[in-house]
Amino acid sequence: MLDLELRRLKDSDPYTVWHGQMDEDSGWCDVYVRQDLLTDSSATVILGDYVGNLRACLNYLASALVRASGIDVLSTVHAFPVFTSRTKYDKQVVRAGVKRAGMLAGVTIGLDVVRRHQPFEYSKSNPEHDPLAVLQDLTNTDKHRYPATVMFRPEGVQIFSIEGVTPTEQWGTDALDLRLGEDIKVAAFRFDRPFPSELHVEASLSGRQVIGRPTRVIGLHSEGEAIPVEMLNDIQERVLKIVQEVHAL
Distance (Å, rounded) from C-alpha 17 to C-alpha 205? 9
In tens, the pLDDT along 147-166 reads 777 777 666 777 766 776 78
In tens, the pLDDT along 205-243 reads 777 777 865 444 433 334 446 788 889 999 999 999 999
- From the number of C-beta atoms within 10 Å of its C-beta (0-12, 13-18, 19+), residue 3 rates as exposed
Nearest to 50 by CA among 231, 243, 245, 244: 231
In tens, the pLDDT along 96-123 reads 554 455 788 888 899 999 999 999 999 9
Please state the pTM of the whole predicted model: 0.74
